[in-house]
Structure 1
Amino acid sequence: MLIDPAHDLAHLDRVWLNAQAIADVHSNQRVLLAASYLHDLVNLPKDDPNRHLASQQSATKSEPILAELGFTEVETRATQHAIAAHSYSANIDPETPEACILRDADRLDALGAIGIARTFSVSGALGRALYDTTDPFGDSRPMDDQRFSIDHWKIKLLKLPNVMLTTKGKVVAKERSARMIRFLQDLSKEIDTPLPPDWANL
């Protein structure tokens, strides 16, 4: 079975780095560390109909691992909640500082230079085109990220800074989304198609 390069060990390392960068003094670092490395224990493909269940399945599978690491019941439940609530598709509200931090840390990895690389990696694996050659930025068609990689940026990724939960996460997300806009501006020049102004103001 091939490892998804967008959700490999390097992704877990980056999520932990992000979590440390945006965490405040009130967060439990032990819970954050465990949640960062166990949040994708179950990683279903983007086009799997059960993908929205993956984070809850990961939370369940984490329990024996946390027990082996000597986590208390309180720490285990806190870690499992952070894991379950991190997912975009699961639609579970984060209720603890650690859950908010993990969600932001994971979403930060979908933005910036690494976010650009991950988008194209996943889209390539799913056989999706980079963009619609007749209307790259969707001026006169509905957005469709099941067919076009760049569409996913407008549908989801460039909106992430607006839904970050932590103060530091919001700052980093805005910085990273600005890098993506600069990439799109360069792309628009190379394909001789102006980037619509609304892409920079999502």
Structure 2
Amino acid sequence: MIQESFRPYDQLFLQLESYLPSAEDGAHDLSHLQRVWQNAKVIQAVEGGDLEILAAAVLLHDCVQVPKDSPLRSRAAALAADQARTALKLLQWQQDRIDIVAGAIESHSYSAGLTPTSLEGSILQDADRLDAIGYVGIARCFYTAGRMGSALYHPNQPEPIDRLADDKCFALDHFPKKLLTLCKGFRTPTGKRLAEERHEKLQEFYTGMLAEIAP
């Protein structure tokens, strides 16, 4: 069962289950939480940090979901942080630990543009962004583009050289506009190392696809 992958915090998973994302968005579902948790544990094992706080932050970081193309997208993390405060207060968590979880959630989002103020916040941000790059990141990119009704790429100029990248219309534009820039923003040394490995996969795919569709 999925909660077993969150051991030793499988009971926390069950306590927070009603707040977890549905399967409606396959890029932000329970499988995404599992992958982010695995990333967080790998980073925490080297960098330190409170693993229970990380578990709560991972479980609740997408508890309020806002579509990528919504004007409220930049508020999603703040809304999730508020919901996390409510959830953890009901579980009678100490206020200082709630604050760390909420702060980590609020700063994890790329759209929010915030700098984490705790080690746990840095780890959550790194763990979540690792899932946006590499092979899984490529799959999530095209999955999300399909949900948004985007084309694969601009038919006349697949690589945005003489035009602005428009990833709302063209999936491939999401690579130069965002995905290929993420590697520079990782917070922890372990996160940076893992990001560099996945960045190479992104770059290889992007270069290869451009070569295949070149006239």
Distance in structure 2 (CA, Å) of the matches to 1:25 and 1:185: 33
2:57 aligned with 1:17, yes or no?
Answer: no
Cα displacement string for residues 101-134 of structure 1 (whole angstroms, at most 9, x for unaligned residues): 0011111100000000000010000001111121
**Over residues 26-80 of structure 1, what are the superposed CA-to-partner deviations in whole Å (9 max), with x where a residue is unaligned?**
3000000110110000010011111111111111111232234442111111111
TM-score (norm 2): 0.85
How many pairs were matched up?
Answer: 193
Give structure 1 stretches of 5+ with no counterpart.
Answer: 194-202
Is the CA contact 2:47–2:188 (under 8 Å) kept in the aligned structure 1?
A: no
Q: Distance in 1 between matches of 2:98 and 2:75?
A: 19
**Whole-Å Cα distance in 1 between the matches of residues 23 and 82 of structure 2?**
23
Match of 2:211 in 1: 189
In structure 1, what is the equivalent of residue 57 of structure 2?
A: 35
**Alpha-carbon RMSD:** 1.5
**Other-structure match for 2:18:** none
Distance 2:210 2:78 in 1: 39
Cα distance, 1:180 vs. partner? 1.3
- Give the 5 Å matches for 1:50-199: 50-192=72-214
TM-score (norm 1): 0.90
Question: Taking structure 1 as reference, are residues 78 and 155 closer, same or farther at Cα in structure 2, changes over 3 Å only?
Answer: same
Deviation at 1:188, TM superposition (A): 2.5
> For 1:144, what is the secondary structure of its paired residue?
coil
Q: Does 1:44 align with 2:66?
A: yes
Report % sequence identity: 40
What residue is the counterpart of 2:26 in the other structure? 5
Distance 1:25 1:149 in 2: 34
How far apart, CA to CA, are the structure 2 residues paired with 1:62 and 1:76? 8
Farther-moved stretch of structure 1 (60-69 vs 35-44): 60-69
Structure (1/2) with the larger helix percentage: 2
Q: Which residue is 1:199 aligned to?
A: none
Letter of the aligned partner of 1:11 in structure 2?
H
CA distance in 2, matches of 1:155, 1:149: 10
